[in-house]
Amino acid sequence: MTDGELEDAARLAGVPDEFQRLWTPHRMAYIAAGPEVLREQCPFCAAPEKSDADGLIVARGRTAYVLLNLFPYNSGHLLVCPYRHIATYDQASPEEVAEIGELTQIGMRVLREVAGCDGFNLGMNQGAVAGAGVDAHLHQHIVPRWATDANFFPIIAKTKALPQLLGEVRESVASAWPRA
Each residue of 74-111: pLDDT tens digit?
889 999 999 999 999 999 999 999 999 999 999 999 99
pLDDT digits (tens, 9 = 90+) for 102-114: 999 999 999 999 9
Backbone Cα Rg of the chain = 19
**CB-based burial label for 130 (10 Å; 0-12, 13-18, 19+):** exposed
pLDDT digits (tens, 9 = 90+) for 26-51: 556 556 666 655 567 899 999 999 99
Res 174 pLDDT > 70: yes
SS3 27: helix
Under a CB-based contact definition with an 8 Å cutoff, are residues 63 and 53 in contact? Answer: no
Distance between CA atoms of 143 and 77, rounded to whole angstroms? 5
Domain ranges of the chain: 24-176
Q: Which CATH architecture has domain 24-176?
A: 2-Layer Sandwich (3.30)
Distance between CA atoms of 132 and 126, rounded to whole angstroms? 6
Res 8 pLDDT > 50: yes
123 or 153, greater pLDDT: 123
Q: What is the pLDDT of residue 1?
A: 46
Average pLDDT, the chain: 83
Tell me what the mean pLDDT of segment 145-158 comes to: 65
Nearest alpha-carbon partner for 144 in 77, 67, 65: 77
3-state helix, strand, coil in the chain (%, to 5): 40, 15, 45
Under a CB-based contact definition with an 8 Å cutoff, are residues 137 and 65 in contact? Answer: no
Distance between CA atoms of 119 and 147, rounded to whole angstroms? 8
Residue 4 carries which side chain, given as an amino acid letter? G
Predicted TM-score of the model (pTM): 0.74
**pLDDT > 70 in the chain, percent:** 71
Distances (CA, A) of 176 to 97, 109, 127, 169, 173: 23, 10, 32, 11, 5
Residue 3: band (very low, low, confident or very high) from pLDDT cuts 50, 70, 90: very low
Distance between CA atoms of 57 and 173, rounded to whole angstroms? 10
Distance between CA atoms of 47 and 158, rounded to whole angstroms? 29
By annotation, the residues acting in catalysis are 139
The neighbour count for residue 71, using CB atoms within 10 Å, is 13
